[in-house]
């Protein structure tokens, strides 16, 4: 396994086939993920079954709320794509826009996301990552201290309402998505990292007595976090398998010419632990959220 670190965060991995990794190989990859937080494993050739089997090694897979984009016969795979087959979109063409951490609106948000690219545009459609821990550590000690006890409301229903092109939520989808509250400063359960756990005001709301003040403070923190010095841009190649730790990284999809190019990506999300606050130094658990 050849591991080549990126400049800011993450690493490229070559020389492995994730479908045939033995236990020692998987353990080495899991360690590399903890160390680098983001891995781009090149030149993979996966079936839905081998993709799911790989992801399951990190822990239980959480199914996405929007069941209309589950892969037929494989609900563990959420399809991100602008391809239309027989008049029917095979996936969600507008998933992942806006800085976020995956499934943040669940009480146990995603620990690890895995994306696998089958087709990608020759330009655009990159995925950008921001190292929320690096950004947090760059704040003054006084500022960090002032943020440590704050909480944030995360609402899938607000997120859905901000995307009017989506079908109305079904009663089952509504029942699955009550609002949750997570610490603003989230501590990684297995390594010594604390980062800002945030998102856009559209669905993520810093809790302060004054809403206008909360919004302004949140927007300032987000702008700080996504500055180029904390960012890595992943330029996709078909066959890339990209996995990252959502506890202290945030990410966003970026635009491409959907009329001209095809993009087809499989995604699976590994359930994590209930987020630990910076003030909550309770016992560490392992990376997959197992107690
Ligand atoms: C996501 O946010 O899960 C998808 C990112 C992408 O498609 O670039």
Cβ–ligand 1 distance for 249 under 6 Å, the answer no
Q: 78-108 pLDDT, tens per residue?
A: 999 999 999 999 999 999 999 999 999 999 9
Instruction: Give me the phi and psi of 100, to 5 degrees please.
Output: -160, 175
- Look at residue 114 and tell me whether its pLDDT is greater than 70: yes
Spatial separation of the C-alpha atoms in residues 238 and 42, rounded to whole Å = 9
Closest ligand 1 atom, CA of 267?
A: 3
Ligand 1 centroid from CA 161, angstroms: 19
pLDDT of residue 290: 36
Please name which of 273, 269, 103 lies closest in space to residue 188, comparing C-alpha atoms.
Answer: 273
Taking 80 as the threshold, does the pLDDT of residue 284 lie above it?
A: no
Helix (H, G, I), strand (E, B) or coil at 199: coil
Which top CATH class is 2-277?
Answer: alpha beta
Cα 143 to averaged position of ligand 1 atoms, centre (Å): 31
Among 96, 109, 163, 268, name the best residue to mutate to test ligand 1's pocket (greatest count of ligand atoms within 8 A of Cβ). Answer: 96
pLDDT given for residue 289 in this prediction: 40
> Could you report the per-residue pLDDT of 256-267, keeping only the tens digit for each?
999 999 999 999
Contacts of 68 (CB under 8 A, 6+ apart): 167
What are 182's two structure tokens? 């997570």
- Residue identified by tokens 């500022």 is 143
Share of the chain above pLDDT 90, in %: 95
Specify the pLDDT at position 279.
Answer: 58
Question: Where would I find the beta strands (DSSP E) of 82-229?
Answer: 84-85, 88-89, 110-119, 127-131, 151-154, 180-183, 185-187, 194-196, 204-206
Distance from CA of residue 151 to its chain's centroid? 20
Distance CA 27, CA 91 (A): 32
Coil, helix or strand at residue 112:
strand
Q: How much is the pLDDT for 288?
A: 40
pTM, 2 dp: 0.93
- Of all protein residues, the one whose alpha carbon is nearest to atom 8 of ligand 1 is 253
* CB contact at 8 A, 164 and 170: no
pLDDT exceeding 70 applies to what percent of the chain? 96
Q: Is 267 in the pocket of ligand 1 (CB under 6 A)?
A: yes
Give the three-state DSSP class for 216: helix
Q: Among 129, 251, 261, 268, which is best to mutate for testing ligand 1, by the most ligand atoms less than 8 A from CB?
A: 251
**Nearest C-alpha neighbor of 261 from the set 145, 119, 131:** 119
C-alpha of residue 117 to centroid of ligand 1, in Å: 11
Q: What pLDDT score was predicted for residue 287?
A: 40
Greatest extent of the chain over all pairs of C-alpha atoms, in Å: 58
Count Cα neighbours of 56 within 13 Å in the Cβ-side half-sphere. 9
pLDDT digits (tens, 9 = 90+) for 160-181: 999 999 999 999 999 999 999 9
DSSP letter string, 40-51: EE-S----HHHH
Continuous H helices in 123-210: 132-137, 141-147, 156-161, 171-175
Annotated domain spans of the chain: 2-277
Confidence of residue 281 (pLDDT cuts 50, 70, 90): very low
Mean pLDDT, the chain, rounded, equals: 94
């Amino acid at each position: 396994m050849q591991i080549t670190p990126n400049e800011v965060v993450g690493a490229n991995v070559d020389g492995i086939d994730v479908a045939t990794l033995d236990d020692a190989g998987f353990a080495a990859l899991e360690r590399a993920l903890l160390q680098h937080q983001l891995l781009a494993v090149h030149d993979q050739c996966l079936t839905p079954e081998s993709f799911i089997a790989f992801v399951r090694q990190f822990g239980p897979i959480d199914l996405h709320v929007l069941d209309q984009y589950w892969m037929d016969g494989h609900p563990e795979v959420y399809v991100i794509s602008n391809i239309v087959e027989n008049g029917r979109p095979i996936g969600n063409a507008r998933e992942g826009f806006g800085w976020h951490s995956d499934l943040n609106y669940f009480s146990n948000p995603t620990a690890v996301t895995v994306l696998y690219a089958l087709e990608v545009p020759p330009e655009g459609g990159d995925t950008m990552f921001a190292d929320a821990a690096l950004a947090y550590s760059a704040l003054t000690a006084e500022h960090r201290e002032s943020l440590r006890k704050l909480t944030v409301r995360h609402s899938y229903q607000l997120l859905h309402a901000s995307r009017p092109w989506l079908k109305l939520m079904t009663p089952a989808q509504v029942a699955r998505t009550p609002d949750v509250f997570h610490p603003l400063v989230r501590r990684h359960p297995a390594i010594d990292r604390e980062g800002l756990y945030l998102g856009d005001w559209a669905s993520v709301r810093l809790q302060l007595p004054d809403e206008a003040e909360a919004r302004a403070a949140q927007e300032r923190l987000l702008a700080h976090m996504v500055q180029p010095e904390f960012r890595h841009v992943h330029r996709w190649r078909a066959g890339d398998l990209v996995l990252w730790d959502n506890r202290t990284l945030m990410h966003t999809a970026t635009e491409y010419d959907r009329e001209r190019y095809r993009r087809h990506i499989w995604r699976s999300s590994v359930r994590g632990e209930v987020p630990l606050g910076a003030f909550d130094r309770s016992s560490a658990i392992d990376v997959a959220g197992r107690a």
